[in-house]
A and B are shown apart, each in its own frame.
Chain A
Amino acid sequence: MISEERRAEQQSALSEPPTGRLATPDVRDEFGLETIDMNMGPQHPAMHGLLRLILELDGETVVRCDPVMGYLHRCQEKIAENRMYPAVIPLTDRLDYFANMHNEHGYVLAVEDLLDVEIPPRAEYIRVLMCELMRLASHIPSIGFLMLELGAFTPILYAFRERERIQTIFEAVTGARMMFHYIRIGGVKADLPPDIPQKIWDYIEGLESRFKNDFVDLIQGNEIFISRTRGVGKMTPEKAVEMGLTGPPLRCTGVDFDLRRDYPYSIYPELEFDVITDTAGDVEASYRVRIAECLQSIRLIKQCLEKMPEGAVMGDLGRRLRPKEGDGFGRVESPRGEFAVHIVSDGSDTPYRVHYRDPSFCNMQLLQEVIPGHYLPDIMPIMGLVDPVSGGWDK
């Protein structure tokens, strides 16, 4: 555990503005120092996917950070314009490949916004159950990645052990481990296998008992973790809102916003859960928010399993899907924030335009605002705060 003296020292260091670390122009002139440009990525072992950062360095301090993306761009929006509505769903799986269920859910909500179809309650419960499992399978590895970037190897092994087990559940339910194509327009593909609710229950119970030991006690009090993350990437709530952040990076600054509660969709109004916020607005706070959200997801999964009604899992759709003309919006709270889909329909069986608003893409704008003034090794913890996914920002 960290000593009281050390904690006080860190607190006092925090009160200084981060720009204080920068060499002033006068000092640079006096010693004839120059800033140097450096490329980080696109093929960097610690980078989340394919991202290139053009950095301007003054010694070891970053002066300017310019993210360059597009290395994984597949023009999903163009492909979607040339497919029939149901055929777009498997493509949305390839967007943010750590939140596939949320992508499917968001797209399907946008199409259903343009259709008159009643979703059976059992299907809604299964959707929420799958989305919350997906949130666990995304938050836990993201904690593991953050620790890996700080040099700790154990948490990623624990994290992937949990993710593997959740993927085994997904495999039993959907037939696929990552690219599910499970949530369909009007419901879900198939009912849960009869033994699965009990298996999910057992797994969740086990996770709850392991969770404190594996992800809280192991990490939270660790001195290296604290000194590498506390005060790093510090943001004020106003700045976070201005940059358009959503999800854990926004909530860790203290802004109380969660689409599940504030723009209720599916059956979230019937379920009880808390929106987690923290006030520090740094990397450590985002870790605490993710940890607490995992526990809320466990709570939601238990409620879903308890309350799940019997019945059909697919609504009554016509043979050919022709949504009415107009704009359809779908918004879901993905593990990384607000995932929104905007569909423009012209009344035919293919969408006229599909637009994805991916949270990784929007949250990554904080890199160019927050990284300047930090040291070079602080970049990776800040990436862990954003937790972007390459398939998400590159569409």
Chain B
Amino acid sequence: MAFTMPEGTLEDRLKRYLDGFGSRHGLLESEIVGDAVRVVAAPGDVPAVLATAKEVLGIPHLSFITVVDRVGSFEITYALIDFRGARVNLKTTVEGDEPVIGTATAIYPTANWHEREAYDMFGVAFAGHPDLRRLYMWQDHFDHHPLLKSFEISTRRTFEGLR
């Protein structure tokens, strides 16, 4: 079968991933934390860094994409795993209220629904996505993005008086 698992011990692979990212891209931060490589890149570089991960370093699996609303900017985390104990967390920060970032679907096809979910919940647009529709919310007549911090829920916080 054409699919092969990554070779080498965990330490070797982590070092290989760190060097592989560092030598090809101008990264803002990169370090090894435990069994994970933490990489921070500029938003414009993200598709290129992901392409390196998939095609050069052979990391097969995009686990999930998390978007965090930092009020004024959005922090996006791509969690990759290589199936054999090593993790890669790629982070980037996109400024502005209507952020746009390049899609990962051409590199990791599984990103399709993850990006649709991020678009639905946060309004983060993924340029080049083949099918960027809302995933959970109504397609029409609903202009909100529920996971934004500015979207308030109507119930009171639990245990408000205890703090």
Residue interface mask A359-395, B partner, CB < 8 A = 1: 0011011000000000000000000000000000011
**What is the number of residues of chain A that contact chain B, defined by CB distance less than 8 Å?**
44
Q: B94 at interface (Cβ–Cβ under 8 A)? A: no
Cβ B158 vs Cβ A327 within 8 A: no
Residues of A within 8 A of B2 (CB): 237-238
Cβ B158 vs Cβ A255 within 8 A: no
Which of B68, B110, B151, B153 is A244 in contact with, Cβ under 8 Å? Answer: B110
* A-contacting residues, B141-156, CB 8 Å: 146-147, 151, 153, 155
Cβ B147 vs Cβ A338 within 8 A: no
Identity of the chain B residue whose Cβ is nearest the Cβ of A369 in the assembled complex: B109
Residues of B within 8 A of A244 (CB): 61-63, 108-110
Interface centre among B114, B135, B159 (most CB of A within 10 A): B135
Cβ A353 vs Cβ B66 within 8 A: yes
Residues of A within 8 A of B137 (CB): 70, 73
**What is the number of residues of chain B that contact chain A, defined by CB distance less than 8 Å?**
42
Residues of B within 8 A of A338 (CB): 63
Q: B24 at interface (Cβ–Cβ under 8 A)? A: no
Residues of A within 8 A of B83 (CB): 255, 257, 262
Residue interface mask B62-74, A partner, CB < 8 A = 1: 1110101100000
Cβ B68 vs Cβ A238 within 8 A: no
Interface of B is mostly: loop
Q: Are A365 and B66 CB-contacts (below 8 A) given A78-B146, A238-B1?
A: no
Q: A148 at interface (Cβ–Cβ under 8 A)? A: no
Residues of B within 8 A of A242 (CB): 108-110
Cβ A263 vs Cβ B85 within 8 A: yes
Cβ A342 vs Cβ B66 within 8 A: yes
Residues of A within 8 A of B157 (CB): 82, 350
Residues of A within 8 A of B158 (CB): 82-84, 87
Identity of the chain A residue whose Cβ is nearest the Cβ of B109 in the assembled complex: A242
Residues of A within 8 A of B5 (CB): 256
Q: In the complex, A362 Cα to B60 Cα: how many Å?
A: 15
* A-contacting residues, B61-109, CB 8 Å: 61-64, 66, 68-69, 75, 77, 79, 81, 83-85, 87, 89, 108-109
Q: Are A340 and B79 CB-contacts (below 8 A) given A70-B135, A75-B146, A262-B84?
A: yes
Residues of B within 8 A of A295 (CB): none
Q: In the complex, A254 Cα to B83 Cα: how many Å?
A: 13
What are 15 A-B contacts defined by CB distance under 8 Å? A75-B147, A82-B155, A82-B157, A83-B158, A238-B3, A243-B110, A244-B61, A338-B63, A340-B63, A340-B64, A340-B79, A350-B157, A362-B113, A364-B113, A365-B113
- What would 17 more interface pairs be, CB under 8 Å, given A84-B158, A244-B62, A338-B63? A73-B136, A79-B153, A83-B158, A237-B2, A241-B60, A241-B61, A244-B109, A256-B5, A262-B84, A263-B35, A331-B63, A353-B66, A357-B79, A361-B113, A362-B114, A365-B110, A365-B113
